[in-house]
Amino acid sequence: MSNFDIIVLGSGPGGYVTAIRASQLGFKTAIIEKENLGGVCLNWGCIPTKALLKSAQVFEYLQHASDYGLKAEGVDKDFDAVVKRSRNVADGMSKGVQFLMKKNKIEVINGFGTLKPGKKVSVKSADGKETEYSASNIIIATGARSRELPSLPQDGKKIIGYREAMTLDHQPKKMLVVGSGAIGIEFAYFYNAMGSDVTVVEFLPNVVPVEDEEVSKQLERSLKKAGIKIMTSAEVTKVDTSGDGVKATVKTAKGEEILEADIVLSAVGIKSNIENIGLEEVGIAIDKDKILVNDYYQTNIPGYYAIGDIVPGQALAHVASAEGILCVEKLADLNVAPLDYGNIPGCTYCSPEIASVGLTEKQAIEKGYEIKVGKFPFSASGKAAAIGAKDGFVKVIFDAKYGEWLGCHMIGAGVTDMIAEAVVARKLETTGHEILKSVHPHPTMSEAVMEAVADAYGEVIHL
């Protein structure tokens, strides 16, 4: 039996980052992975989807070349080549993680890991051989997968999840996307940009329902302008896959209607990967599909920790990474503070992009704050006009009494790269006046943040 200081079960953006930080801190570390290093994020999620979305964006640019005074005739796409590029990007990133494992002297153990009592893990390799490993600390980072609804059972062909959506062998003429969170909206944008007829069905009243209501409404307008059909307050109650395509029964306030499509993408959330990994045998407590942990990710059983999508909190790659780093730094007796889950940025990479952090306007009011709200549209931005991306706005929310930056909500070109300003400022307890008096470069998209703050305080110049 091999003995380690730390064994990490799962090599996604939570697991591999945790392993690297553990090694940096001097722990003898091993990581267990049943498929490819990098997990879903690098291989089937965050990274390859962005490669697909970039291809869609370039295709749109080429189709609208005349808007920029250019000529591009006979523009077409090669769907197979687009998918292949995405897979090549993912493969390159996974190889990069392999390099990082070697560089940091982390032992990579391939196979399916099962937790055992006494701080042990049994690993079953592809050839069926089982090997047991032990460690002073075991960190569970097994991630999540596409959630299935009883009314929408995935068969991997006509009713698919995000994984199949990235590697279809042909482009569907008609696609029905069920769920309008980040995954659903990103794929809806991609397939629509590629030329598919796309309809989005959302159970709640607004698309991207976790976002500020004004952002949701703006995105709905932008998506409809692009040709995507949107059905909110709607539910798919049953599907018929007996024919060539799919017939989906959709229930709305007006009654039921049947929508036909070649493929239905189920994007209704995720399911934690906590089955058959030994939680029950070890006695690790779970609640509502999540492993229960304290502020430093220790479970109820000493020596066993859990991070990422399998614990309460936002199911995001950057959250999993931050949790893992915090977990091992606490194990190394460093002076660390619990993660502030109220200051986690969220991003959706459709076009226009969405980025947000903190409270929505509605949430701030519900919490009893007296607020100042500022908003600056990109239609008034010189840089946005120059690059042909005037859709969207920046919205900021401040506590009127103390100037605390309560929330920031953006929709527009490149806003996923702009949101970090608000995250850092909120971390540093920066006030609205400090942002307003920090000189922002011109012309940039980012100066819309300053202008929005100026609007909140009645000092906006360009609006």
Q: Report the length, in residues, of the chain.
A: 463
Q: Which of 219, 245, 268 is the last residue of a domain?
A: 268
Residue 152 lies in a domain: no
* pLDDT digits (tens), the chain, 463 positions: 579 999 999 999 999 999 999 999 999 999 999 988 888 778 888 899 999 999 999 999 999 999 999 998 889 999 999 999 999 999 999 899 999 999 999 999 999 999 999 999 999 998 889 999 999 999 999 999 989 888 899 998 999 998 899 999 899 999 999 999 999 999 999 999 999 999 999 999 999 999 999 999 999 999 999 999 999 999 999 999 998 999 999 999 999 999 999 999 999 989 999 999 999 999 999 999 999 999 999 999 999 999 999 999 999 999 999 999 999 999 999 999 999 999 999 999 999 999 999 999 999 999 999 999 999 999 999 999 999 999 999 999 999 999 999 999 999 999 999 999 999 999 999 999 999 999 999 999 999 999 999 999 999 888 8
Q: What stretches of 104-212 show up as alpha helix (H) in DSSP?
A: 162-165, 182-194
* Cis peptide leading into residue 352 (ω within 30°): yes
| Integer Cα distance of 36 and 267 in angstroms | 23
Residue 356 lies in a domain: yes
Looking at the fold, whether 202 and 317 belong to one and the same domain comes out as no
Residue 462 lies in a domain: no
Looking at the fold, whether 139 and 287 belong to one and the same domain comes out as yes
The CATH code of the domain that includes 245 is 3.50.50.60
Residue 404 lies in a domain: yes
Beta bridge mates, 306: 140
Buried/exposed code over 1-39 (b: 16+ C-beta within 10 A; e: otherwise):
eeebbbbbbbbbbbbbbbbbbbbebebbbbbbbbebbbb
Looking at the fold, whether 256 and 333 belong to one and the same domain comes out as no
Residue 368 lies in a domain: yes
How many CB atoms are closer than 10 A to CB 129? Answer: 9
Q: What stretches of 373-444 show up as alpha helix (H) in DSSP?
A: 382-387, 420-427, 432-436
Looking at the fold, whether 252 and 372 belong to one and the same domain comes out as no
Looking at the fold, whether 296 and 382 belong to one and the same domain comes out as no
Looking at the fold, whether 121 and 249 belong to one and the same domain comes out as no
| Integer Cα distance of 267 and 180 in angstroms | 7
Name the nearest CA neighbour of 18 among 109, 91, 77, 100: 100
| Integer Cα distance of 7 and 19 in angstroms | 8
Looking at the fold, whether 259 and 171 belong to one and the same domain comes out as yes
Looking at the fold, whether 136 and 221 belong to one and the same domain comes out as no
Query: 34 near 113, Cβ under 8 Å?
Result: yes
Residue 346 lies in a domain: no
Beta bridge mates, 124: 112, 130
| Integer Cα distance of 57 and 54 in angstroms | 5
Residue 151 lies in a domain: no
Looking at the fold, whether 257 and 281 belong to one and the same domain comes out as no
- Catalytic residue numbers read 442
pLDDT at 41: 78
Looking at the fold, whether 305 and 368 belong to one and the same domain comes out as no
Query: 198 near 265, Cβ under 8 Å?
Result: no
Query: 237 near 256, Cβ under 8 Å?
Result: yes
Looking at the fold, whether 224 and 288 belong to one and the same domain comes out as no
Domain count along the chain:
3
Q: Which of 341, 364, 390 is the last residue of a domain?
A: 341
Six-digit token string for 255 = 């009654």
Looking at the fold, whether 220 and 359 belong to one and the same domain comes out as no
Domain of 286, in residue numbers:
2-145+271-341
Positive or negative: CA dihedral 168, 170, 175, 181: positive
The CATH code of the domain that includes 451 is 3.30.390.30
Buried/exposed code over 193-215 (b: 16+ C-beta within 10 A; e: otherwise):
bbbbbbbbbbbeebbbebbbebb
Residue 150 lies in a domain: no
